[in-house]
Amino acid sequence: MRLQNKVALITGAGSGIGRESALLFSAEGAQIVVVDVVDAAGNETVAMIKANGGEACYVHADVSKSAECENMVRVAEQTFGKLNVLFNNAGIMHGDDDNAMTTEEHVWDLTMNINLKGVFLGCKFGIPALKRAGGGSIINTASFVAILGAATPQIAYTASKGGVLAMTRELAIIHARQNIRVNSLCPGPLHTKLLMDFLNTDAKKQRRLVHIPMGRFGEAKEMAQAALFLASDESSYMTGASFVVDGGITAAYVTPE
């Protein structure tokens, strides 16, 4: 049991990477705080965990709101006594996110508030809890587009995920001597509702697929396995890293310095 006696808080745990990670972390021994804005989906994840014999609770939280992020951490400590793993996974990919000329300011602001500010707020309130527990692991969901840029324009999403990488590196350095590790998970294109809704035509899907050496979209379960490694003590000498799980895209297109 790779997460035995650990408490993990996962945002965006009602679907996709968040749900698969919640189920996997639970199966590996963790008590799970499921966080989402869609109550039905979040409660369904909790029910799935409990049906498999795990322990979990649900907290409604909009990660762009300070008071709600503070509350989710408070509930974790009140319910399970501590917090060991913080997975800042919640994010959006707005359908009207496009290039700089056509993307509306409200789309930019909403994307930044959830994808970037939400990670900041999770860390703002989560790090003190990790300190109280004697240390722990923070995982921030970024994206391969933070490294490459996207073939299909999504300027706000790409910029927000680039910010996640930069923030993760700084937090890792600041807290390295406090037994707190901070890493980014950078998924490639995934066969999730989030991306499939954004790539809403066959042409858009093919434009992504042609760049993936493996020739397929990744699965949320595969990202959960990567997150499990970052959450566990197996990655104990790893901090400030951008953990890329992308089917080979960056190997094909990024030139080493």
For residues 199 and 152, the answer to whether their CB atoms sit within 8 Å is yes
Helix residue spans in the chain (DSSP H): 16-27, 39-51, 66-80, 105-112, 118-132, 145-148, 155-175, 193-198, 202-209, 220-231, 249-253
Contact criterion met (CB below 8 Å) for 223 and 185: yes
Structural contact between residues 85 and 3, judged by C-beta atoms closer than 8 angstroms: yes
Q: What is the dihedral of CA 232, 238, 242, 247, to 10 degrees?
A: -60
Expressed in angstroms, the distance from the first to the final Cα of the chain is 39
Whether residue 58 lies in the annotated active site:
no
Q: What are φ and ψ of residue 66, in 5° steps?
A: -55, -50
* Burial state string for 3-15 with b = 16 or more CB within 10 A and e = fewer than 16: beebbbbbbbbbb
Q: Identity (one letter) of the amino acid at 46?
A: V
From the list 58, 157, 237, 253, the catalytic residue is: 157
149: which DSSP letter? Answer: -
Number of alpha carbons in the 13 Å side-chain half-sphere of residue 206? 3
Unique residue bearing structure tokens 């909009």 = 62
Which residues belong to the active site? 157
